Structure 1
Amino acid sequence: MFELVLLAPEESLEHLTDALDALDALSVSVEDADAETPAEQALFGEPGMPAPKAGWQRSRVVALFSDQAGADEAAALLRLQDFFDGCEVVGIRAVADEDWVRLTQSQFAPVDITPGFWIVPSWHEPPADARQVIRLDPGLAFGTGTHPTTRMCLRWIAQRDLTGQRVLDYGCGSGILAIGAAKFGAQEIVAVDIDPAAVEATRINASNNHVNLEAGLPELATGRYDVVLANILATPLKVLAPLLCSHVRAGGHLVLAGILERQAQELQEAYAPWVQLGIADQEDGWILMTAQ
């Protein structure tokens, strides 16, 4: 493998990355060329929303090619393009062979949710004190148990007896919350997401954990549930307020995550016509809000 490393001004970045894709680069990564200097720029908005700009004032672009000839040819062709004015080829370098699967796996270790309740990747053995385990590998959908919002939802689930209850996981991602509900006794579990890849990931993860649930697009959610879980983000949670509340049976629980501490009041106001939300848990600037 060989890396072609370039510098590009903001106005050339989109053309450059499109060209690298057309030149059969195996991958293209972009980062702030001024990172960790006084000129560093923050370019990140709310998760799931577009970045405020297409690129940094100066971007460092790294394109991976299978051989040096491909990297050399790409560099030569790029230099001939009009949009390459202001860009610079920093160099081409060999990338050491790695066991990428093992390297990736090494980044994901078992995660403890509560004493005795663990999220464990398939390539690890469960810890000796694990009484309840969800087997989950990183994949296409959000939710591996490492993010505070997921951990708080799972903690809430683990602290309750859900035996025989009907549970809805709205915006299921990997299906981790639905699987957690099944592990703690829920009888009828429906997991829905607008992303078909998330639906498929949920079905696969449920099968791997030997739990029964229904997974599908949002129209699969019908009727009322004892527990409605939604770990999304504050903006869609506000939009979904009437829908989510309509799915909670009288006396049932609504559990919301993906909310920053500073967003608590706006969520309470959005849900006020139906329920009174309170803060049930908090971790690293995120909060869990619940209502009954």
Structure 2
Amino acid sequence: MTSDNTEVWSLVDISLPVSQSELVSDTLWAMGVVAIEEIQGENDTVTLRTSMGEHPTDDIALLVHQYPFVSISFVDIARTVADTWRAHAEPTWVTEDVVFVPTWLPAPPALHQIFIEPLDTFGLGNHPTTVAAMQLALQHVVPATHVLDLGSGSGILGIALSKILGCRGSAFDIASGARNVLKENCKSNHVENVAWNDSYEAETYDAVIANILAPVLRELASVIQDVTQTNGVIILSGMRDDQVQDVGACFDSCIEVGKVSIDRWTAVALQKVN
């Protein structure tokens, strides 16, 4: 809060060469940001302004590791200004029957309406990585099975599988606000069988969905395979097209059974065979 009691939103400024703006913006969208403001600078530079939550340290570290040329700073702005992105939100069609709907918008007619409130830092389900992961999950996840949504963000993937396929869901994300936003979105969708699980590594699952950036998928490859039951399904998303082979090589207990590519982002479905 400011001295006049105006609520503020802490935003992250990411300065970089204009030539790298599209690539870094795509990565930010994949990380789940809800809005990006592009501010032109001098000498062919640009600043991408966005929210990365109240505790953005881990996400910033990952971004700087992947793109060492970026420069990070912070700025506080009035919340009424920061929330203007909500006026531009739209429903996202995943298939002809499935639509992700921001909770403050009227829902279009559909067989399956999945409502989503991103709060400050989680996406609307409209990024290609989320859409591709959902499409593959609907094709390969067996109904009424136990699914882990790893890197759950808003929890939309696990919630959707609960509503559409009757799956029981576990969710985990390192982001500090993920537990609260999962609870909010379960309530909005009248879902009671998707729960937060800090100890997800102690269980095994019929399917694991990991919509996370490629470096983290490589880092967690052993864990993901360990918690997936034999013959179970793994959905990997968050990879750009040129990262798929490198990530896939880390999942040596699996065979590929499906793939979806949207706007240079690719998700793959794997089956664990040993």
Common topology (TM > 0.5):
yes
Identity of aligned residues (%): 26
Q: Where does 1:49-64 land on structure 2 (aligned, <5 Å)?
A: 49-50=63-64, 52=68, 55=71
Cα separation, 2, equivalents of 1:131 and 1:246: 35
Which of residues 24, 28, 43 is equivalent to 1:39? 43
2:265 partner letter: W
Question: How many Å apart are 1:187 and its aligned residue?
Answer: 3.3
Aligned to 2:263: 284
Aligned-residue Cα RMSD (Å) equals: 3.7
Is 1:245 aligned with 2:225? yes
Question: How many Å apart are 1:176 and its aligned residue?
Answer: 0.7
Aligned to 1:134: 114
Deviations 1:119-172 (A, max 9, x none): 1112222113x1101111232343321110001111123335632211111111
Quick check: 1:164–1:187 contact (8 Å CA) kept in 2?
Answer: yes
Alignment gaps of 5+ in structure 2: 1-5, 19-38, 49-58
Is 1:220 aligned with 2:200? yes
Which of residues 266, 269, 275 is equivalent to 2:254? 275
Aligned to 1:114: 95
2:249 partner letter: E
SS at 1:255 equivalent: strand
Aligned residues: 233
Cα separation, 2, equivalents of 1:204 and 1:123: 13
Quick check: 2:140–2:233 contact (8 Å CA) kept in 1?
Answer: no
What is the TM-score of this pair, normalised by structure 2?
0.71
2:124 partner letter: T
Quick check: 1:190–1:221 contact (8 Å CA) kept in 2?
Answer: no
SS at 2:63 equivalent: coil
1:112 partner letter: W
Aligned to 2:244: 264
SS at 2:232 equivalent: strand
Change (3 A) 1:52 1:209: same
What is the TM-score of this pair, normalised by structure 1?
0.67
Change (3 A) 1:267 1:183: same
Question: How many Å apart are 1:197 and its aligned residue?
Answer: 1.1
Alignment gaps of 5+ in structure 1: 1-23, 66-97
2:134 partner letter: L
Quick check: 1:255–1:289 contact (8 Å CA) kept in 2?
Answer: yes
2:156 partner letter: I
